[in-house]
Structure formats: C-alpha cells, structure tokens
Amino acid sequence: MKFKLISSVVATALTFSGGIAFAAGELNIFNWGNYTPPDLIEKFEKQYDIKVTLTDYDSNDTALAKVAAGGHGFDIAVPSNSYVPIWIEKGLLLNTRVDQMPNAKNILPQFRDVSWDPGRQYSAPWQWGSTGVSVNTKYYKGDINTSTIFLDPPDELVGQINVVPEMMDVMSMAIWYHGGDVCSDDKAMLKKVNDTLLAAKPKWKSMDYGNLAKFAAEDIYAGVNWNGASMRARFQNETVHYGHPIEGYPLWQDAVVVLAEAKNVENAKLFQNFIMEPENAAMMSAFARYSNGIIGSEEFMPDDMKGAPEIAVPAELAAKGQFIDTCPPEVTKMYTKIWTNLMK
C-alpha cells in the first residue's frame, strides 16, 4: 500500500512538472530505417515497463503519406525539420508542450526556439546533421567538396553513383549548384535544375536509401549521402570520405513528435522526455553517428566522433550549410513535378 501511494505521488508530481507520467503498456514508433539504437529502446522498455514496437520508413514523403492516410496505429514519428510545419498544419500532431518537459532544459540554445516549431512545443530533437556527398577516394582523387560529384560526375565515377531519393535534399543541392535560392519560384532557374538532374541521372547507378553496405563493399563509389551514414561507411572502408559541397548543402534536424491518433500518449511523452537526457541522446549518436543537440551528451559520446571530418567542418565549408525551410505549397508543387520526372 505504501509503495502504491509513493508511486501515485511521483506520477502526479511528474504530470504537473511537464506533462510526463509513468505508464506501463505499449509504444508504437515510426522512424527512419537503421536509425533507432536497440540499446536505447531496451533501456526505455526496462525503465518504464513499456513494450516498444518499431516500424521503419524510408523517406519523409513516405512517412507523411502513411500518417495522413490514418488508421496507422503509430504513437510517434520522426519527420525532418522542413516537414514538421506540414504535419502541424495538417493536424497530424499533438501539442505535447515539449518546452515544459523536465529534460527540455538540456536542449542546446540554438534549438530551443526553431522556425519549424516555434517555442519547441511539438517536437523533441532526435539527431541532426548534413547532406553532402560520399566518395571512395581510391577511385577518385579530385575535389570531393562539390555537388559536381553527382550532377556532372567525372568519368571515374560514372555508373557508380547512388543518390538518396530524398526530394528536398537533392533539389536543394541542385538549386544551390545553379546559384539559386531554395523555395524560390524562379522558373528559369528551376528549368536548369530539371535539365541538370535529368542529364545526370543516366550517369547514376541507383537511387536507394540503403547504401552503407554498398559503400563498404565498393558496389558504389560515390553519391549523395548523409554525414552520419558516411561516417559509418568510413568505419567499414577507410577510403570512403565525406564532402561538404562548396555550392551549398542542407542541414537538417529530425524531430520526435506525438501523433494526433496516438493511443499511448503518455508513453509517447515519456519517450520525448527520455531522449533529451544527455546519456540517452549520446546513445542515439553512438549508433547512427549524428549530432544530437543535447547539452551534456558530449561526455558520453564515442571518442571516434570527436573531431570526425564528417562533423568537424572547415570554416569555409561550414558557412555553406543551411537549414531548409518549408517551402510554400506552390513552390513545393513545382519541385514535386521536377522530382516526379526524375523518378520515372
């Protein structure tokens, strides 16, 4: 009886201190593939007596379409920052007041009030990084800090390039390659982007997400890739290096959000708070090899991430990275038309 009373008091205190309450049961997470640390999930399950079911997706568009269709059964999803406003506008998310959760104090200052989630009310930071190019320098000895690698590839790389099929990443890099501005409706510039992408595609080998094993086995030599994925490839093949295109490259942050149709809301809020604990955030980074945006996580991070070239960017290239905004619907429609042509 005493134990039950104490538990009740603790749960009540947590509820009033940030909307977090202990709750056994289930949690259904919808996240990118090969992105969720098994040891993180195991720790969460043991700590809260909650059974977690994890379902993978391969793109922002896939996740959005699945959740918007309804009847999905998921409690949590992890969209990228430029998609979060779309999810909010469509009424797909609950406002869980992440900013009032106990561990919200651990969010890095630059991520506490962000354009995609003002006041940080809907989303807890998952991981963040960049999209650039991976190149096996055994096969190509030239400059890798350029989008020329995939938009006008050198002969050594033709037919050995993989491009991750994430529309906003690829479109943004192609737009910056032509000196344009992302979210611009400049039709002349977008025609150049369309023509460049269509001319480049025959020189690519594939457009797949799962490229880690391919880089390791040298089934591909180069391609558009994320910095953490490139670091994981380098650990398996030391000649795989990551380039930050001088023309410009996207920065992104993925966000843990609770879905409007969630059946396990309190458990989902527990998870949002859980990942903002420094040691837990470091577990995410140790697995997927991206930065996490949580103060104090550094002391728990793997030594091989400190100063890693995929993260420690030279100043002249660091300034070229930009977070992508959510484009107006009319601009997104134009981008989608180009992307549809490319994917045919």
Residues 237 and 150 in one domain: yes
Question: Can you give the pLDDT of all 344 residues of the chain as single tens digits?
Answer: 333 333 333 343 344 344 455 557 999 999 999 999 999 999 999 999 999 999 999 999 999 999 999 999 999 999 999 999 999 999 999 999 999 999 999 999 999 999 999 999 999 999 999 999 999 999 999 999 999 999 999 999 999 999 999 999 999 999 999 999 999 999 999 999 999 999 999 999 999 998 999 999 999 999 999 999 999 999 999 999 999 999 999 999 999 999 999 999 999 999 999 999 999 999 999 999 999 999 999 999 999 998 999 999 999 999 999 999 899 999 999 999 999 999 99
The pLDDT value recorded for residue 22 is 52
Residues 161 and 223 in one domain: yes
Residues 277 and 331 in one domain: no
Q: Are 95 and 279 in contact (CB under 8 A)?
A: no
The token pair at 60 is 């922002």
The kind and range of the H/E element at 49 are none
Residues 323 and 189 in one domain: yes
Question: At a CB cut-off of 8 Å and minimum separation 6, what does 14 contact?
Answer: 20, 21, 22, 102
Q: Which residue has the tokens 């090969």?
A: 34
Residues 154 and 84 in one domain: no
- DSSP character at residue 99: G
The pLDDT value recorded for residue 23 is 54
The pLDDT value recorded for residue 190 is 97
The token pair at 215 is 């880089």
Residues 246 and 320 in one domain: yes
Residues 244 and 324 in one domain: yes
Side-chain-side CA neighbours of residue 312 (13 Å): 6
The strand pairing partners of 252, in sequence order, are: 129
CATH (domain of 79): 3.40.190.10
Residues 240 and 277 in one domain: no
DSSP for 101-168, written as a single string: SGGGGGB-GGGTSBTTBGGG-SEEEEEEEEEEEEEETTT--S--SSTHHHHS--GGGTT-EEE---HH
Amino acid residing at 191 = K
- Secondary structure of residue 50 in the 3-state scheme: strand
How far, in Å, are 100, 124, 135, 203, 255 from residue 218 at the CA level? 47, 36, 10, 17, 32
Nearest-5° angle of CA 65, CA 182, CA 173? 85
The pLDDT value recorded for residue 8 is 34
Residues 283 and 203 in one domain: no
How far, in Å, are 18, 135, 267 from residue 205 at the CA level? 49, 14, 43
Q: Are 228 and 131 in contact (CB under 8 A)?
A: no
Q: Are 322 and 182 in contact (CB under 8 A)?
A: yes
- Judge residue 7's burial from the number of C-beta atoms within 10 Å of its C-beta, 0-12 exposed, 13-18 middle, 19 or more buried: exposed
Range of the domain at 240: 129-251+312-343
Residues 173 and 28 in one domain: no
Residues 144 and 220 in one domain: yes
Domain count, the chain: 2
Residues 183 and 320 in one domain: yes
